[in-house]
Structure 1
Amino acid sequence: MADAVSLKNKGNDAFKQKDWPGAIEYYTKAIELNEQEPSFFTNRAQANIKLEAYGYAIADASKAIEIDPNFAKAYYRRAVANTAILKHGDAIHDWKAVVRKNPADKVAKAQYEACQKMVKRDAFLKAIEIADAPSAAEGLDLESMVVEDTYDGVRLKDEMTQEFVNDMIERFKNGKKLHRKYVFQIILAVKNLVYEEATMVETIVAPEHKLTVCGDTHGQYFDLLEIFRLNGFPSEKHGYLFNGDFVDRGSWSTEIALLLYAYKMMYPKFFFLNRGNHETDDMNRMYGFEGECKAKYNERVFKLFSESFSALPLATLIGDKYLTLHGGLFSDDAITLDDIRKLNRHNQRQPGQAGLMMEMLWTDPQTMPGRGPSKRGVGLQFGPDVTKRFCEKNGLEAVIRSHEVRMEGYEVEHDGRCITVFSAPKYCDSTENKGAYINIESDYKLQFNKFDAVPHPDIKPMAYANNGMMSMM
């Protein structure tokens, strides 16, 4: 027991240093020495929550409850993890248990009440859901919308200009907003552009050209600008592919979305956007983007963004060599690139809990062969053998995906056939990770580049999330 406690303490030290993988390693070693101490499991659950491995956190908390059914912290951890993956119906039972065991805990009581509201909200939204709801653009008359003389920014006409983009970058750096007419104009233009693109966009890198692949940016606007500063701004010879999760968590999500959309307007054939699991309504309601849109602009802006997100392609094939998609591979070996090509994403606005779209947005690699349950509690995990078969069957060199923090900003796995790239350094101001991006030239060799986070104004992540529960994550 003394050795186990020593390992747990080392795990606590790693946790304080925000080294979540290191903390998990120590807690796991402690558990191997003593499997009957519930606090080892709840500590590991909290580290898994920090890594967004909510499925693992739920399993750890459940084990702690099995050992000690009266351990309130275990119910607390499981409630937080279930809330994070939007399983509010499961979370509410655990919050109730925490309140029952610790009736004086005001924080737990507030979380329980917030969860009750979310359960009611989810039921209400489901009840009023309309299959073919009218577009938020209906009745929006941009022609008659006046930009006041007092507006101090560059004017936008029919086409995006470098002058407008430069002004937008500076406005956002200084905490200013775009005029709402221009916000509507940009979102509508990009919605129409991406709607006409294939579910899997196919592109090549021409001689003397370069394509940069970026992973999650999650509302970290100043770190996005650092990518452009280090690597060059988009142009007709320097294309970019942003591989989903532009928004949520970080508190400059509207700024990132609008800047990426402006570049898509300016370079529609050289600037690409894949959908991520956070370009979805339920995640946007939980993790801040909906609240940010309403706070900085209005609800209609969020609804238009939502429509544009559902129109985004789900994958990009680069030079017939690299399939780039946000999450990863599939539950069925029979799936091919042709199945992605044939997928009509416009028939299903949100990814749901099963199916091809959900798997493209949510799955993760694992080190073990075969397939396994998701550490997130959503989707599944796929092993190196799954990746090898998929790449060989489809003539690919590798799959490039994002969706997960990597401490060095990227990781090459599965014998070089699965590459993760993540472009939000010091993620949520709480993880000491680097960011990364990948440059690809006409020889199709992958050039990995790492970068550090840069300072930003003192606005915390999740500043616009609509419930206090997020502070527990």
Structure 2
Amino acid sequence: MEEFAKAEQAKADGNKYFQEGKYAKALASYSMAIELSEDDGLDGLDSLDDTKPKNPSIQIYYANRAFCHIKMENFGSALVDATKAIEAKEDFPKGWYRRGSAQMALGRPKEALKDFMQLCKLAPNDKDAREKLKQCQKQVQADKFAKAIGCEKTKPASETVDVAKMEVDSTYDGPMYISGSCTVDFCQHLMEHQKKEQCIAKKFAYQIVLDMIEMLKQSSTLVDIDVPEKGEVTVCGDVHGQFYDLLNIFALNGVPSEANPYLFNGDFVDRGSFSVEVILTLFAWKLAFPNHMHLARGNHETRNMNKLYGFEGEVTKKYGEELYQLFCEAFCLLPLCHVINQQVFVVHGGLFSQDGVTLDAIRKVNRDCEPPDEGLMTEMLWSDPQPGRGRAPSKRGVGVAFGQDVTENFLNVNGLKMVIRSHEMKEEGYEIEHSGKLVTVFSAPNYCDQMGNKGAFIRLDGKTMTPKYTTFAHVSHPNVRPMQYANPMLGQLMGMS
């Protein structure tokens, strides 16, 4: 009984931390409660004794830890814990609730529907449960409709949209985009215009994305970047729609130019509510300096993520559905990774579930699609490093967690010096791992207006490829909350409504 009391105290501590928004500490407390409940103290000999009392709260510990994982967006781990809660007590409603939530966040509405249906059977009078089921059913139907419509379409939006017929209002006083001739002056004017919360004319927004699509068609899955011996290149991580922090990066480090090249390493959009402004700015600079402004695809440059985390809603609200379809085309053409001076491999997520992957194998990956459930492309977008060695299932439920030996194998096979990746928030904006052979860089400070983290960027010199780190704090932005355009279902599932 003493172990039960300790486990209950650990749960209580976890609840307190959770209410304070300290999810990592709450996670540790719930884990302690689970460990105390599962540790029989007799080297497992009593596993044959069915008379030994089991902790009647174990399913609660698992469900609470699953909710922590959902808050931390570790949806794969949430799915595992919710399933364990169900296994411990099959008629425990919160187990089904958490598992359905994790399934939805992973973009699996059909699987989530089964869980929410079971939830409603167990709690038929619960209004919230019925609402979740209703929303999930709507999502499944919407996906079916979208798939049917997609099958009917024979041409992509870029081949059907008619920009010539779009009129620019006579009162418009913003930047004027001339197709095929993007200048520094236009880029500067665009940033100033958007800084005032003003949209550029619809015609110009469409033309920028159309020109970007044509340019990206000439690109490749892996892009080699050459930096002169006396030159430098700046690598930035996730920006996530934080337009005013992007402007601050340019204020601190200079705007893109032939003498000041950049590589933005994915996750330009979603969560932050100025994603349109971010992506149009990055596309414009890319059009102005095709060989000195580099853009890589992140896991949020995908339809599944955009549907949940806000970009689809934002584009549709500001410009219309057709422009969103054009963005989706452009995202599918973005490179998946870069190699700088044949020494530094830069990728959004991380490395692979198998050793021996070569750069040539990566070059052959077809990038012009939505990411599949598994494979090299998905792992490049989703994987994360882990301490120690070996591989483990990803806490996200997609990709793989990889250790230092995996990093070293990849570098040795390909004659490289180090890996730079993004994909994870870091308190200081960057983190050096795997004995200095892998670095994570994240460029969205005070992530989602609540994490308090710094942002960072990395400068590499062409002669030695030695990384220099610059950290920076967030700047103020107009009073528009993050996730303003996100799918309401996501907010409900994560307890943000």
TM-score band w.r.t. shorter chain? over 0.9
Structure 1: which amino acid aligns with 2:6?
D
CA distance in 1, matches of 2:493, 2:252: 34
Counterparts in 2 of 1:43 and 1:230: CA distance versus 1, 3 Å: farther
Counterparts in 2 of 1:315 and 1:17: CA distance versus 1, 3 Å: same
Q: What are the residue-to-residue correspondences of 1:438-457 with 2, within 5 Å?
A: 438-442=458-462, 443-457=464-478
Deviates more, 1:94-103 or 1:408-417: 94-103
Task: Specify which of 27, 32, 53 is matched with residue 30 of structure 2.
Answer: 27
- Tell me the residue number matched to 1:470: 491
Structure 1: which amino acid aligns with 2:7?
A
Name the larger-Rg structure: 2
Task: Specify which of 378, 399, 415 is matched with residue 379 of structure 1.
Answer: 399
Q: Deviations over 1:316-373 (max 9, x none)?
A: 1011111111111112213101111233323xx1111122212211222222422222
Deviation at residue 260 of structure 1 after TM alignment: 0.5
1:252 pairs with 2:274: yes
Task: Specify which of 437, 449, 458 is matched with residue 417 of structure 1.
Answer: 437
Task: Specify which of 343, 357, 363 is matched with residue 377 of structure 2.
Answer: 357
CA distance in 2, matches of 1:134, 1:261: 23
CA distance in 1, matches of 2:344, 2:25: 31
Structure 1: which amino acid aligns with 2:376?
L
Deviation at residue 34 of structure 1 after TM alignment: 2.6
Deviation at residue 84 of structure 1 after TM alignment: 0.5
Structure 2: which amino acid aligns with 1:453?
H
- Tell me the residue number matched to 2:245: 223
1:18 pairs with 2:21: yes
Deviation at residue 14 of structure 1 after TM alignment: 3.6
Task: Specify which of 399, 404, 417 is matched with residue 419 of structure 2.
Answer: 399
Counterparts in 2 of 1:222 and 1:134: CA distance versus 1, 3 Å: same
Counterparts in 2 of 1:234 and 1:29: CA distance versus 1, 3 Å: same
Q: Is the 8 A contact 1:411 1:421 kept in 2?
A: yes
- Tell me the residue number matched to 1:426: 446
Equivalent residues, number: 471
Q: Is the 8 A contact 1:41 1:63 kept in 2?
A: yes
Counterparts in 2 of 1:220 and 1:12: CA distance versus 1, 3 Å: farther
More relative contact order, 1 or 2 (CA 8 Å, 6+ apart): 1
Deviates more, 1:54-63 or 1:66-75: 66-75
Q: What are the residue-to-residue correspondences of 1:57-68 with 2, within 5 Å?
A: 57-68=78-89
CA distance in 2, matches of 1:424, 1:131: 39
- Give the secondary-structure state (helix, strand or coil) at the position aligned to 2:159: coil
- Give the secondary-structure state (helix, strand or coil) at the position aligned to 1:126: helix
Q: Deviations over 1:30-55 (max 9, x none)?
A: 32223443332222222211222111
Q: Is the 8 A contact 2:371 2:377 kept in 1?
A: yes
1:38 pairs with 2:41: no
- Give the secondary-structure state (helix, strand or coil) at the position aligned to 2:295: strand
1:99 pairs with 2:120: yes
CA distance in 2, matches of 1:45, 1:384: 28
Counterparts in 2 of 1:236 and 1:15: CA distance versus 1, 3 Å: farther
Deviates more, 1:5-14 or 1:303-312: 5-14
Task: Specify which of 354, 357, 370 is matched with residue 335 of structure 1.
Answer: 357
Deviates more, 1:271-280 or 1:380-389: 380-389
CA distance in 2, matches of 1:115, 1:161: 46
Structure 1: which amino acid aligns with 2:398?
V
- Tell me the residue number matched to 1:7: 10
- Give the secondary-structure state (helix, strand or coil) at the position aligned to 1:29: helix
Deviation at residue 150 of structure 1 after TM alignment: 0.4
Counterparts in 2 of 1:51 and 1:104: CA distance versus 1, 3 Å: same
Q: What are the residue-to-residue correspondences of 1:167-316 with 2, within 5 Å?
A: 167-316=189-338
CA distance in 2, matches of 1:288, 1:451: 25
Q: Deviations over 1:157-183 (max 9, x none)?
A: 242223322222222222211101110
Deviation at residue 132 of structure 1 after TM alignment: 8.0
CA distance in 2, matches of 1:402, 1:284: 18
CA distance in 1, matches of 2:183, 2:88: 63
1:165 pairs with 2:168: no
Counterparts in 2 of 1:230 and 1:7: CA distance versus 1, 3 Å: farther
Counterparts in 2 of 1:174 and 1:110: CA distance versus 1, 3 Å: farther
Deviation at residue 282 of structure 1 after TM alignment: 2.1
Gaps of 5+ in 1: none
Structure 2: which amino acid aligns with 1:317?
V
- Tell me the residue number matched to 1:388: 408
Q: Deviations over 1:407-450 (max 9, x none)?
A: 33222222222222122223223433322221112231111222
Counterparts in 2 of 1:394 and 1:293: CA distance versus 1, 3 Å: same
CA distance in 1, matches of 2:82, 2:343: 42
1:56 pairs with 2:77: yes
**Structure 1 length as normaliser, TM-score?**
0.93
Deviates more, 1:306-315 or 1:455-464: 455-464
**Structure 2 length as normaliser, TM-score?**
0.89
Deviates more, 1:402-411 or 1:289-298: 402-411
Deviates more, 1:309-318 or 1:5-14: 5-14
Counterparts in 2 of 1:421 and 1:142: CA distance versus 1, 3 Å: same
Counterparts in 2 of 1:124 and 1:274: CA distance versus 1, 3 Å: same
CA distance in 2, matches of 1:82, 1:410: 30
Structure 2: which amino acid aligns with 1:107?
D
Deviation at residue 309 of structure 1 after TM alignment: 0.6
Counterparts in 2 of 1:228 and 1:6: CA distance versus 1, 3 Å: farther
Deviation at residue 93 of structure 1 after TM alignment: 2.0
Deviation at residue 390 of structure 1 after TM alignment: 0.8
CA distance in 2, matches of 1:422, 1:57: 24
Counterparts in 2 of 1:21 and 1:118: CA distance versus 1, 3 Å: same
CA distance in 1, matches of 2:32, 2:486: 35
